[in-house]
């Protein structure tokens, strides 16, 4: 109810000032704090209705589509080429130049191969006030629909695409960003490596601190640098699949590696590495749980199974 009320308030404000309600809806989305630790109830409420509004959004896009003419098709082809190929290429090039590892650069570029919702808002507003011609408007709508469909397919197969395009470059270049934004004590030994600094990663870190256990965080989100510097004595900012990141984390001297990231490519990488430390990959799949255990995982971070066991033990100890 709070999120819907916020949406109505912003829509009313935009209507009062004569601005499109689309802008108001976008502003309402920006106003919601996405801090999962503080606003889990709010986000869970939005989760339950997001598919309903997603259906309305795509239905609206479908309603804006018109039969394209020759000029519209030409503009559409040019824009699709720019969005699908040139935009990701430039993104990868810039990120790699700035010091990010090739996998982070590539996967970021792959996920930007579509026309954003914000672009659509601007396009609709520009068309309504007569700044752009109908042919260009129709082309942008057609490109948006096409690239959104293509982007969903790309995200599902991003690992396969990356391996085909960049496999030979994965471990050749150390990431300057990792060197410049990591703090690792040179004498770290027999420590715990925690991959992912989300809600679960923070809880594991706090437990390690309470028991005075040396630990190290690996995360790939630049936004978390300041928080990592404040909360962690040792951390590495980089892609855990990159050999250089794991070397930076002194994995050869680690006691255990705990992953809080549900990524099959990462789990397979950890299980395939030739090292003496114990490995705890993460998955929600029962089939993957069995597969990882068969490949030598010490245990599997499957929240559903672990929570069920904890619940049973709690009920037996406290009630029965």
- What string of DSSP letters covers 9-37? HHHHHHHHTT--HHHHHHHHHHHS---TT
Cα separation of the two ends of the chain: 39
Task: Pull the structure tokens for residue 270.
Answer: 């950890």
d(Cα 309, Cα 315) in Å, to the nearest integer? Answer: 10
Q: Is residue 126 helix, strand or coil? A: helix
CA atoms within 13 A on the CB side of 158: 21
Burial of 70 per CB tally in 10 Å (0-12, 13-18, 19+): exposed
What is the rounded distance in angstroms from the CA atom of residue 29 to the CA atom of residue 41? 16
C-beta separation of 163 from 99 below 8 A:
no
Q: What is the pLDDT of residue 186?
A: 83
- Measure the CA–CA gap between 303 and 285, rounded to whole angstroms: 10
Which neighbouring-strand residues pair with 257? 193, 279
- Sheet strands side by side (includes 278-280): 235-237, 215-219, 192-195, 256-259, 278-280
What does 245-287 look like in DSSP terms, one character per residue? HHHHTTGGG-SEEEE----HHHHHHHHHS--SSEEE-B-S-HH
Residue 248: alpha-carbon gap to chain centroid = 23
By the 8 A CB rule, do 144 and 61 touch?
yes
Pairing of strands 215-219, 192-195: parallel
Between vectors from CA 158 to CA 154 and to CA 160, what angle results, nearest 5°?
120
pTM of the model: 0.74
Q: Where are the domains of the chain?
A: 2-169, 176-318
Q: How far is CA 163 from CA 89, 107, 218, 238, 309, in A?
A: 16, 11, 22, 18, 38
Per-residue pLDDT of the chain (320 residues; tens, 9 = 90+): 666 776 678 778 877 777 766 666 666 666 665 555 555 556 666 666 666 666 776 777 777 777 778 888 999 999 999 999 999 999 999 988 888 878 888 888 988 888 887 788 788 878 878 888 888 888 988 998 889 888 888 888 888 888 888 766 655 566 777 888 888 888 888 899 999 998 889 999 999 988 888 999 999 888 888 888 888 889 998 888 888 888 888 888 899 999 999 989 889 989 988 778 899 999 999 899 999 999 989 999 988 888 777 777 767 766 65
Q: For residue 195, list its beta bridge partners.
A: 218, 259
| Residue among 156, 118, 155 nearest 140 (CA) | 118
Instruction: Check residue 2 and give its pLDDT.
Output: 66
On whether the 176-318 domain is CATH 3.40.50.720, my answer is yes
Predicted local distance difference test score (pLDDT) of residue 39? 55
- Looking at residue 170, its pLDDT comes to 58
Return the pLDDT at 161.
86
Residue pair 198/208 in contact (Cβ under 8 Å)? The answer is no
CB-CB neighbours of 229 under 10 Å:
12
Q: Enter the tokens of residue 298.
A: 């010490």
Q: Supply the pLDDT for residue 304.
A: 83
CA 212/CA 191 separation, integer angstroms: 11
């Amino acid at each position: 109810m709070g999120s819907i009320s916020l949406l109505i308030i912003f829509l009313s404000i935009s209507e009062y000032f004569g601005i499109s309600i689309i802008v108001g809806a976008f502003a309402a989305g920006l106003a919601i704090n996405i801090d999962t630790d503080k606003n889990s109830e709010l986000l869970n409420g939005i989760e339950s209705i997001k598919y309903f509004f997603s259906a309305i959004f795509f239905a609206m896009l479908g309603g804006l589509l018109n039969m394209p003419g020759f000029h519209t098709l030409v503009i559409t082809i040019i824009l699709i080429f720019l969005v699908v190929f040139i935009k990701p290429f430039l993104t990868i090039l810039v990120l790699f130049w700035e010091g990010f590892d090739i996998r982070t650069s590539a996967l970021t570029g792959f996920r930007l191969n579509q026309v954003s919702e914000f672009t659509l808002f601007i396009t609709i507003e520009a068309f309504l006030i007569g700044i752009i011609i109908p042919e260009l408007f129709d082309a942008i709508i057609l490109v948006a629909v096409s690239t959104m469909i293509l982007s969903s397919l790309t995200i599902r197969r991003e690992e396969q695409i990356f391996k085909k395009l960049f496999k030979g470059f994965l471990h050749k270049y150390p990431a300057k960003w990792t060197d410049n934004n990591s703090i690792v004590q040179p004498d770290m030994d027999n420590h715990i490596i925690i991959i992912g600094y989300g809600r679960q990663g923070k809880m594991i870190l706090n437990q390690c601190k309470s028991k005075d256990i040396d630990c190290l965080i690996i995360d790939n989100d630049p936004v978390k640098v300041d928080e990592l510097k404040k909360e962690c004595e040792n951390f590495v900012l980089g892609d855990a699949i990159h050999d250089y990141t794991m070397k930076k984390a002194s994995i050869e001297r680690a006691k255990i590696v705990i992953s809080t990231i549900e990524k099959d490519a990462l789990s397979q990488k950890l299980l395939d590495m030739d090292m003496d430390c114990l490995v705890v990959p993460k998955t929600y799949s029962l089939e993957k749980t069995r597969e990882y255990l068969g490949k030598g995982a010490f245990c599997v971070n499957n929240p559903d199974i672990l929570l069920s066991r904890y619940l049973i033990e709690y009920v037996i100890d406290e009630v029965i």
